[in-house]
C-alpha cells in the first residue's frame, strides 16, 4: 500500500467545500471496517482512506496550514498504515460514566495477550502500541496491529475468521463478514 504524503492532502479551505461528501464516504467506509466486540470494545481498521480523512479533519479542527505541521500529522498517522503483512486498527474502549471507567479500565489493563484475530483456528495476537497502559489502568484508545505470516494471509482468503477477546471478565467474539474480509485483504496488498 502506498504510503501517505503531502500530495494526498488538500488545503483546509478546499476540504471545507468537500467535507460533507467526504465525511459521508468516510463514515460508510468506517462502518464496513468496524469490529464490535461486545458493547465495550470497538476496533476500527485503518486504511489509506481512513487515515487521509483523519488528517484532513485534524487540519480542519486545528486550522492547520503550515507545511511542517501537516507533515508531522502525516508522519503520525502514517505509522498506523497497514502494509502487505500487517493489519492496523484503532481500538476504542467504550466506557463513558465514571462508574464504568472505574470498573472496566483496570480490567482492560490485561487486554494485551487477550485480544486476537483467529484465522482458521490459528490465533494472531494483537500487538499494542507501548506506553498506553499502566499497572492500574489503561487508556481508552489504543493503536494495535496484527502481523500475519504468508500462510495466514492465504488462509484469510478462505478460512473462517473471527476476532476474540479472552479476558476472564470480558469474553467476546466477532465473526468476520465477507465484506470485512474483502476490506482486510485489500489492506494487505
- Which pLDDT tens digit goes with each residue over 126-180? 999 988 888 888 888 999 999 999 999 999 999 999 999 999 999 999 999 999 9
78 pLDDT tier (thresholds 50, 70, 90): very high
> What's the whole-number mean pLDDT along residues 70-82?
94
pLDDT of residue 84: 95
Number of domains in the chain: 1
Q: Are 46 and 80 a contacting pair, CB within 8 Å?
A: yes
CA distances 113 to 13, 58, 144, 146, Å, are: 44, 32, 12, 12
Q: pTM of whole model > 0.85?
A: yes
In a domain, 174, yes or no: yes
pLDDT of residue 133: 84
**Domain enclosing residue 153, as ranges:** 6-187
In a domain, 58, yes or no: yes
> What's the whole-number mean pLDDT along residues 3-16?
94
In a domain, 1, yes or no: no
pLDDT of residue 137: 82
Share the mean pLDDT of the chain.
95
**Helices vs strands, H then E, count in the chain:** 6, 9
Q: Are 81 and 88 a contacting pair, CB within 8 Å?
A: yes
**pLDDT over 70 percentage in the chain:** 99
Give the model confidence (pLDDT) of 95-110 as tens digits. Answer: 999 999 999 999 999 9
In a domain, 14, yes or no: yes
In a domain, 33, yes or no: yes
pLDDT of residue 144: 97
Residue-wise burial string across 56-85, b where 16 or more C-beta atoms lie within 10 A, e elsewhere = beebeeeebeeeeebeebbeebbebbbeee
Residue with the three cell numbers 498517522: 77
Provide the edge-to-edge strand list for the sheet that holds 141-147: 34-37, 41-45, 86-93, 141-147, 127-128
> What's the whole-number mean pLDDT along residues 52-73?
94
Nearest residue to 54 (alpha-carbon basis) of 91, 4, 92, 17 = 4
pLDDT of residue 170: 98
Amino acid at each position: 500500500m502506498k504510503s501517505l504524503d503531502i500530495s494526498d492532502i488538500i488545503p483546509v479551505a478546499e476540504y471545507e467545500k468537500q467535507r460533507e461528501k467526504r465525511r459521508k464516504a468516510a463514515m460508510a467506509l468506517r462502518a464496513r471496517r468496524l469490529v464490535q466486540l461486545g458493547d465495550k470494545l470497538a476496533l476500527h481498521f485503518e486504511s489509506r482512506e481512513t487515515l487521509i480523512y483523519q488528517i484532513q479533519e485534524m487540519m480542519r479542527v486545528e486550522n492547520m496550514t503550515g507545511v511542517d505541521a501537516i507533515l508531522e500529522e502525516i508522519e503520525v498517522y502514517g505509522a498506523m498504515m497497514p502494509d502487505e503483512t500487517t493489519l492496523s486498527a484503532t481500538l476504542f474502549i467504550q466506557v463513558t460514566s465514571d462508574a464504568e471507567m472505574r470498573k472496566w479500565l483496570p480490567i482492560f489493563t490485561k487486554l494485551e495477550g487477550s485480544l486476537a484475530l483467529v484465522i482458521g483456528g490459528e490465533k494472531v495476537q494483537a500487538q499494542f502500541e507501548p506506553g498506553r497502559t499502566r499497572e492500574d489502568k489503561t487508556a481508552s484508545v489504543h493503536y494495535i496491529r496484527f502481523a500475519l505470516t504468508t500462510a495466514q494471509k492465504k488462509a484469510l482468503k478462505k478460512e473462517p475468521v473471527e476476532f476474540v477477546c479472552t479476558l476472564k471478565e470480558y469474553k467476546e467474539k466477532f465473526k468476520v463478514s465477507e465484506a470485512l474480509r474483502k476490506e482486510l485483504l485489500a489492506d494487505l496488498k
